[in-house]
Amino acid sequence: MSRSHPGERARRGSRGRGVERADSGTVPGTRTARLRRWLGHRARLRWGEEATDRSPWARGRILAALAVLTSALLAFHSTVPNTVGRFGSLLETFLPWLGLAVPLLLVLALLRRSATALTALLLPAAVWGSLFGGRVAAGDGGAHDVTAVQHNVSDVNADPAGTARTLRDSGPDLIALEELTPAALPVYERELAPEYPHRAVRGTVGLWSKHPLTEVGAVDIRPEGIGDGWNRGVRATARTPWGDVAVYVAHLPSVRVQLHGFSSGRRDESAGLLGAALAAEKLEKVILLGDFNGTVDDRGLDPVTTRVDSVGRDHFAFSWPAAFPVSRIDHVMTRSATVTHVRTLPATGSDHLPVAAGITLDP
C-alpha cells in the first residue's frame, strides 16, 4: 500500500472540509439571500421606493390625487349632497379637522420621495389656511359693551352650585343656560340672584341678566311630533344703557352620527322655526345665545346664520365635548351688534365648556 506524503494528505483534507462547508452552508445561504432580496423588492414596491433612477416627479400620483380631493372637499363642501344620510352636514360639522390630512399626506409624500405629491399638498394647505387661518390667530377683539356667557349646564350635572359660581365669577352681563332641571333650577337661582337679579326661564332654558328684562316669552321651536312639554326657547327684551336689545336663548334638538348617516332632521326643523322667529323680530339689536348642536359651517343652521352675524366663523373656541373639545356647537350671535371675541371658560360639571363673548352694542 502506497503512502501519501503528509502534505498531500493535509491538502486533501482541507479540500474535503471546504466542500463540506460549501455543501452545508453556501447553498442554503444563497437561497436565504435570494429570499431576502425578493422580500425587500416587494417591500420597496409596496412603499413606493422604486429604483433610484425613476424621477421623483413620476412618483406619488395617488397621494397627489388625495391632496386635490382634500382641497375640493374643503373649498366646495357645500356641494356635498345632504339628501342621503346628511353627509354634507356631517362633513361641515368637523370641517376644520379635514386639515389633518395635510400632515398625514406630507409624511407619506416624504417617505415616497415624491415631488409631485409634495407640490400638490400646497393646494389643501392654502385652502385650509384661507378658511381657518384667521381662527388660529384670532384673539381678544378689544373693548366691548357687554359680555355674554352661553352654557349647556347638562341635566346630569352633579355640581350646579359650582357651575353657577364659575359662570358668575367670569363677570358677564348676560348668562344663558340650557338643560335646566326642576331640581337644579333653584340652585342656579340662589347662586346667581345676588348679581343677576333679572331672569327669564321657560322650560329647560333660562337667561340671567344684570340689566332689567321685559316682554319675556317662550319661543316655539318644537319640531313636529314632539310633545307639548318640550320648551327650549325663550326671548326677553334687555334694557341696556345702549338701548333695548332682544335676547334669545335656544337649545336645538340633538344630532347623532349613526351607520346610516347624520340624524339632524329635527335639529334642522327647529333651526327653521328659530330663523322664522328672528326674521319676525321687531327690535333692531338682537343677541342670540344657545346650544345649536351644530357648527356655523353646518348648512343645517342656515335659517339661523343667515339672519344673524355668525362671527364665530372667526374663532375656534371648541366647546364640546368638554373632555376633548373638537367642535363648537355653543354660540353667541348678534344682529346690529358686533361680537368682538369668543373664548371658552374653565370646565364645569357639564359635558360642554362655557362660551363667553364680548359684544359691542354701539352703532
pLDDT, one tens digit per residue, over 17-53 is 544 444 444 455 577 777 777 776 666 655 544 444 4
Question: If pLDDT is split at 50, 70 and 90, which confidence band does 12 have?
Answer: low
Which pLDDT value is given to residue 257? Answer: 75
**The residue to which cell 327650549 is assigned:** 232
pTM, rounded to two decimals: 0.78
The Cβ of residue 222 has, within 10 Å, a number of other Cβ atoms equal to 21
Residue 199 scores a pLDDT above 80 = yes
The Cβ of residue 250 has, within 10 Å, a number of other Cβ atoms equal to 26
Region for residue 148 given its phi and psi (left: phi exceeds 0; alpha: psi -120 to 50; beta: otherwise): beta
Return the closest-CA partner of residue 304 out of 270, 329, 327, 336. Answer: 270
Q: What share of the chain is helix, strand, coil (3-state, %, to 5)?
A: 40, 20, 35
Provide mean pLDDT across the span 86-113.
92
Strand-strand pairing, 330-335 and 286-291: antiparallel
Question: What does the block give as the cell for 145?
Answer: 359693551
Whether 172 contacts 149, CB under 8 Å: yes
The Cβ of residue 16 has, within 10 Å, a number of other Cβ atoms equal to 10
Residue 146: C-alpha distances to residues 14, 86, 172, 201, 360 (Å): 99, 37, 7, 21, 7
Provide mean pLDDT across the span 299-327.
86
Q: What angle do CA 147, 322, 247 make, to 5 degrees?
A: 30
Provide mean pLDDT across the span 296-322.
85
* More confident: 48 or 143: 143
Residue 10 scores a pLDDT above 60 = no
H helix count then E strand count, the chain: 11, 13
* More confident: 83 or 182: 182
CA 234 – CA 249 distance, rounded (Å): 5
Provide mean pLDDT across the span 95-106.
94
DSSP states along 9-27: HHHHHHHHHHHHHIIIIIH
Q: Give the CA-trace dihedral at 9, 15, 21, 24, to 10 degrees.
A: -100
53-57, 76-80, 271-275, 357-361: least confident range? 53-57
DSSP state of 347: P
Which pLDDT value is given to residue 51? Answer: 43
Whether 176 contacts 291, CB under 8 Å: no
Which pLDDT value is given to residue 22? Answer: 42
Question: If pLDDT is split at 50, 70 and 90, which confidence band does 266 have?
Answer: very high
Whether 117 contacts 108, CB under 8 Å: yes
Residue 151: C-alpha distances to residues 104, 126, 217, 309 (Å): 35, 34, 20, 19
Q: Where are the alpha helices (DSSP H) in 155-305?
A: 160-169, 185-192, 265-280, 302-305
Selection from 15-24, 40-49, 84-93, 240-249 with the highest mean pLDDT: 240-249
Provide mean pLDDT across the span 73-89.
88
Region for residue 113 given its phi and psi (left: phi exceeds 0; alpha: psi -120 to 50; beta: otherwise): left
Whether 361 contacts 247, CB under 8 Å: no
94-98, 104-108, 149-153, 214-218: least confident range? 94-98
Question: If pLDDT is split at 50, 70 and 90, which confidence band does 84 have?
Answer: confident
CA 274 – CA 39 distance, rounded (Å): 63
Mean pLDDT of the chain: 87
The packing angle between helices 160-169 and 185-192, to 10°, is 30
Rg (CA), the chain: 33
Residue 15 scores a pLDDT above 60 = no
Residue 120 scores a pLDDT above 70 = yes
Question: What does the block give as the cell for 73?
Answer: 372637499
Residue % of the chain over a pLDDT of 70: 83
Question: What does the block give as the cell for 70?
Answer: 382634500
Which pLDDT value is given to residue 21? Answer: 45
